[in-house]
Amino acid sequence: MEDLVCLTELEEPPSSGFSTVNLDSTQTVASRSQRRHLTEPTVIDQRSGNVIPIRSLSISKQTSLINNRTNNFRLQYFPTASEEDWNDWRWQLRHRIKTLVELERVISLSQAERDAFQMHAGPLPVGITPYYASLIHQKDPNHPIRRMVVMSKDEFRMSPGEADDPLGEDGHSPVPGLVHRYPDRVLFLVTGFCSVYCRYCTRSRLVGKSNHESKFNMQQWEAALQYIERTPVVRDVLLSGGDPLTLSNDKLEWLLRRLRKIPHVEIIRIGSKVPVVLPQRITPALTNMLKKYHPLWMSLHFSHPEEITPETTRACRMLAEAAIPLGSQTVLLKGINDSVQTMKKLYQGLLKILVKPYYLYQCDPVSGSAQFRTTVEKGLEIIEGLRGHTSGYAVPHYVIDAPGGGGKIPILPNYVVSHDKSDWTLRNYEHRSFHYPNPIEQPDNVLQTVEGGEPCM
Ligand code: SF4
């Protein structure tokens, strides 16, 4: 580990000031000529002097990666924390920023943010890992990452159409903590605990309650598992919460083992923001455990390109190396990521770290969410600005999770100009029209004859 120095983290460093990454902050920085041709995260092997892409390192050599900005934050605000402490996910959880005093120590709060903090009561408290706090702009209240996790007074304002349970999940729960809305799959809410609390959370009514530190409820797990066991149509189980990756390896493995014993459960999915806000949690011990329970998929929750750091890059790479397919579910958030430019940067960045942009969600009308919700037209404009303009893999499904429990409904720009039985007129991403000759369906005895009455081969 001492032999490696990281030169760059990303092709285009985020605007928040990342430039270089030290795997060991005491090591030397590379020369300009060494940096010039780098287009991906790399390190220098101090013994050989070779420049090595992070992707070609063995995972064990990456165990103490801290990017420069984060390392400066560590030294300033957590000076007694060693690199080992900092890279220990349990240390990160123990030192989450939860009180006004702790928050004011690391951020210059505006009066409105301070007032909001003091007004708050009930679930969805403030909770920010020191790592994620290091990505926040300390002076700008409009900084995208800051807005996602620091309270504002707007979250106490109810707007028309908003509700505490906008998706009607509670009405689709045959047993507490399990939502069975779609025919063949269930949502299993395994904990009410998250390492970071997002201010726009759809489950703000449930997560981070004052007794949330218990993290899980065995009776509830048993009831949910028994429901899945006696319901053979359930072939797909999504573990969510709260955040399942905040559970210990033992508890998570207990759950996965039980699910894998159910013959009709074909796939297991885990929904998690942990690789984004607590990437230290992704350890070889975790990935070695997870890969015993394939097919296992993971839905991550990236929201902004500044979240793609060397730490999250490494976490996603480790998960991918454990053969876990990775998708990202991004919520469209006003003033945070609602532009083509931001989304393109996010989605192209995700592909580089082996994460497929899966869903772009229109923000659910949860109570107090008006500050985050932008129009459906804006979402369509973003999809229109991506489709054809960048790799198809970088274009997610834009969906509205129908209020009241209607499920996810895809929304697409209109690419069909007109059509009749034999012709579809379509427009492409450059607004040019093209015709597709539609095969005309005819009865077999008409279609499959040629002159002479012999059937076509
Ligand atoms: S991590 Fe997920 S469940 Fe937790 S607060 Fe954020 S959006 Fe809600």
Q: Give me ligand 1 centre to Cα 181, in Å.
A: 20
Number of domains in the chain: 4
Structural tokens at position 418: 């007109």
Active-site positions read 181-182, 185, 194, 198, 201, 203, 364, 401, 408
pLDDT at 65: 87
pLDDT at 169: 86
Closest to 376 in 3D by CA, of 344, 402, 398: 398
Asked if the structure places residue 255 within a domain, the reply is yes
The mean pLDDT of the chain is 86
Tell whether 346 and 201 lie within a shared domain.
yes
Tell which atom from ligand 1 comes closest to the C-alpha of 271. 2
How far is Cα of residue 449 from the mean position of the Cα atoms in its chain?
55
Q: Give me ligand 1 centre to Cα 142, in Å.
A: 20
Tell whether 214 and 350 lie within a shared domain.
yes
pLDDT at 453: 46
Asked if the structure places residue 238 within a domain, the reply is yes
* Integer Cα distance of 46 and 50 in angstroms: 8
**Exposed/middle/buried for residue 251 (C-beta within 10 Å: 0-12, 13-18, 19+):** middle
pLDDT tier at 24, thresholds 50, 70, 90: very low
pLDDT at 447: 52
Where residue 107 falls (left for φ over 0; alpha for ψ -120 to 50; beta otherwise) is beta
Q: Which of 187, 198, 199, 212 to mutate to test the pocket of ligand 1 (most atoms within 8 A of CB)?
A: 198
* Integer Cα distance of 106 and 75 in angstroms: 12
333 lines ligand 1 (CB under 6 A): no
Tell which atom from ligand 1 comes closest to the C-alpha of 242. 3
Average pLDDT score over residue span 78-84: 97
Structural tokens at position 315: 């976490």
Q: Which of 128, 149, 155, 194 to mutate to test the pocket of ligand 1 (most atoms within 8 A of CB)?
A: 194
Average pLDDT score over residue span 90-109: 97
The answer to whether 267 and 231 have CB atoms below 8 angstroms apart is no
Asked if the structure places residue 80 within a domain, the reply is no
Q: Give me ligand 1 centre to Cα 194, in Å.
A: 6
**Exposed/middle/buried for residue 19 (C-beta within 10 Å: 0-12, 13-18, 19+):** middle
The answer to whether 171 and 221 have CB atoms below 8 angstroms apart is no
Looking at per-residue confidence, does 320 or 31 come out higher? 320
pLDDT at 345: 98
Q: Give me ligand 1 centre to Cα 292, in Å.
A: 26
Q: Which domain holds residue 263?
A: 170-410
Q: Give me ligand 1 centre to Cα 207, in Å.
A: 8
pLDDT at 225: 98
Given the structure tokens 């997870």, which residue do they identify?
A: 290
pLDDT at 40: 56
pTM over 0.75: yes
Least confident among 51-60, 281-290, 406-415: 51-60
* Integer Cα distance of 284 and 199 in angstroms: 31
Of 18, 42, 73, which marks where a domain is finished? 73
pLDDT tier at 5, thresholds 50, 70, 90: very low
Least confident among 63-77, 240-254, 289-303: 63-77
- Sheet with 433-437, side-by-side order of all strands: 416-419, 423-427, 433-437
Q: What is the DSSP string of 186-204?
A: EEEE--S--SS--TT-TTT
Q: Which of 96, 151, 207, 364 to mutate to test the pocket of ligand 1 (most atoms within 8 A of CB)?
A: 207
Q: Give me ligand 1 centre to Cα 285, in Å.
A: 24
Q: Is the pLDDT assigned to residue 45 strictly greater than 90?
A: no
* Integer Cα distance of 82 and 74 in angstroms: 9
pLDDT tier at 20, thresholds 50, 70, 90: very low
pLDDT at 294: 98
Beta pairing class for 178-182 and 185-189: antiparallel
* Integer Cα distance of 307 and 301 in angstroms: 10
Question: Dihedral of the CA atoms 324, 88, 347, 400 (nearest 10)?
Answer: 80
Tell whether 146 and 188 lie within a shared domain.
no
Tell whether 186 and 306 lie within a shared domain.
yes
Q: Give me ligand 1 centre to Cα 268, in Å.
A: 19
Looking at per-residue confidence, does 434 or 453 come out higher? 434
What is the CATH classification number for the domain harbouring 221? Answer: 3.20.20.70
pLDDT per position as a tens digit, 365-390: 999 999 999 999 999 999 999 999 99
pLDDT at 56: 57
Nearest-CA residue for atom 7 of ligand 1: 201
Tell whether 212 and 334 lie within a shared domain.
yes
Tell whether 453 and 355 lie within a shared domain.
no
pLDDT per position as a tens digit, 116-159: 999 998 889 999 999 999 999 999 999 999 999 999 999 999 99
pLDDT at 57: 53
pLDDT tier at 2, thresholds 50, 70, 90: very low
Asked if the structure places residue 326 within a domain, the reply is yes
Tell which atom from ligand 1 comes closest to the C-alpha of 240. 3
pLDDT tier at 23, thresholds 50, 70, 90: very low
- Considering the chain, what percentage of its residues have pLDDT values greater than 90? 75
Nearest-CA residue for atom 6 of ligand 1: 198
205 lines ligand 1 (CB under 6 A): no
> What amino acid is encoded at 242 in this protein?
G
The answer to whether 410 and 387 have CB atoms below 8 angstroms apart is no
pLDDT at 38: 44
Q: What is the DSSP string of 378-424?
A: HHHHHHHHHBTTB-GGG-PEEEEEETTTTEEEE-----EEEE-SSEE
pLDDT tier at 52, thresholds 50, 70, 90: low
Q: What is the DSSP string of 301-353?
A: ----GGG--HHHHHHHHHHHHTT--EEEEEEE-TTTT-SHHHHHHHHHHHHHT
pLDDT tier at 217, thresholds 50, 70, 90: confident
Asked if the structure places residue 165 within a domain, the reply is no
The answer to whether 126 and 102 have CB atoms below 8 angstroms apart is no
The answer to whether 436 and 429 have CB atoms below 8 angstroms apart is no
pLDDT per position as a tens digit, 438-448: 998 777 665 55
Q: What is the DSSP string of 262-295?
A: STT--EEEEEESHHHH-GGG--HHHHHHHGGG-S
Tell whether 184 and 226 lie within a shared domain.
yes
Q: Which of 179, 190, 201 to mutate to test the pocket of ligand 1 (most atoms within 8 A of CB)?
A: 201
Residues in the chain: 457
**Exposed/middle/buried for residue 277 (C-beta within 10 Å: 0-12, 13-18, 19+):** buried
Tell whether 30 and 48 lie within a shared domain.
yes
Average pLDDT score over residue span 155-175: 91
Looking at per-residue confidence, does 45 or 113 come out higher? 113
Tell whether 258 and 226 lie within a shared domain.
yes
* Integer Cα distance of 362 and 433 in angstroms: 29
Tell whether 129 and 268 lie within a shared domain.
no
Least confident among 72-86, 170-184, 248-262, 294-308: 170-184
Asked if the structure places residue 85 within a domain, the reply is no
- Considering the chain, what percentage of its residues have pLDDT values greater than 70? 81
Tell whether 216 and 317 lie within a shared domain.
yes
Element (H, E) at 299: strand 296-300
Tell whether 121 and 258 lie within a shared domain.
no
Tell which atom from ligand 1 comes closest to the C-alpha of 208. 5
Asked if the structure places residue 304 within a domain, the reply is yes
Asked if the structure places residue 358 within a domain, the reply is yes
Measured CA to CA in angstroms, residue 270 lies from 54, 59, 279 at distances of 26, 22, 15
Looking at per-residue confidence, does 332 or 35 come out higher? 332
Average pLDDT score over residue span 430-440: 96
